[in-house]
Amino acid sequence: MKYHILVVDDDKNLRESVRCALERENCTAIARADGLAALEALSESEKNSSERAIDLVIADIMMPRMDGIELLRRLRGSGNAVPFVFLTSRDEEFDRVLGLELGADDYLSKPFSIRELMARVKAILRRIERVREGRKAGEARVVRQGELVMDMECLCASWNERELKLTLTEFRLLASMASAPGRVKTREQLLQDAYPDDSYISDRAVDCHIKRLRRKLEESGAPQDMIETVYGLGYRYNRGAEGSSS
């Protein structure tokens, strides 16, 4: 399986280094210098066949014309849940947190080694491949907890028949908790469920994704305490919404 990855950075040398490294890993890499050009590339890929769709976006935060934060905001606002990795400077902590809250899957601080970036890319691609393999095998399974319905095959989720537009990471986190209602899931357990192949993700990323997940659930009419914080331990799915699971 050949993956198609979009690399967005106004630093030409870095952009080309990442592109060459990806192509050595048998990926097709598309390089763009800013967020506007990236949006055009994503729009063009959607017009083509699904075989040419972008599988992953790697983007810098600080760029001319349109920065990485705005690029991600527009993608998520349009319902595009493509996996997204930020490249950031070490003094951009606020932007890193904002990016995670907007739905980024991961971030990497500059300067970074190409080897570490490739390790994170491979981890995300393994998650994508696992989902695709499950679909091919027809592993249909539906998790139901009250008004929440999660189709594990098509990665679709809804609350009270209203679609929840979740990223892959958000879907996995919610599925982990909803599959075991009332049971406390530590951040480490949630990390393992959401990122089974990646040892680089921090606990803070889990908190940011949970915050975004709660907001989406509440916007769909779910109770505010649907996902409960168990201080010092982690999170759990409120039994009050428990229905049946199949």
| Residue 175 belongs to domain spanning | 140-241
Mean pLDDT estimate for the chain: 83
Instruction: Give CA–CA dist 229/73, Å, rounded.
Output: 26
- pLDDT of 245 reads 38
Q: Which CATH number do you get for residue 73?
A: 3.40.50.2300
Concatenated DSSP letters of 190-207: HHHHH-TT-S---HHHHH
Model confidence band, residue 36 (pLDDT cutoffs 50, 70, 90) = very high
161 and 88 within one domain: no
Global confidence as pTM: 0.66
- 94-141 confidence digits (pLDDT tens): 677 777 778 888 888 888 899 989 988 988 888 777 666 655 555 547
Decide if 36 is inside a domain. yes
Residue 244 has a pLDDT of 36
Domain end call among 135, 170, 194: 135
Among 21-25, 30-34, 67-71, 105-109, name the one with the lowest average pLDDT. 105-109
Q: Both 48 and 106 in a single domain?
A: yes
Q: How confident is the model at residue 243, as a pLDDT?
A: 41
Residues 6-22 have pLDDT tens digits of: 999 999 999 999 999 99
* Assigned domain for 69 exists: yes
99 in Cβ contact with 73 (< 8 Å): no
Instruction: Provide the domain count of the chain.
Output: 2
In a domain, 213, yes or no: yes
Q: DSSP alpha helices (H): ranges in the chain?
A: 12-24, 35-47, 68-77, 93-102, 114-136, 168-178, 187-194, 203-219
Q: Which of 119, 135, 151 is the last residue of a domain?
A: 135
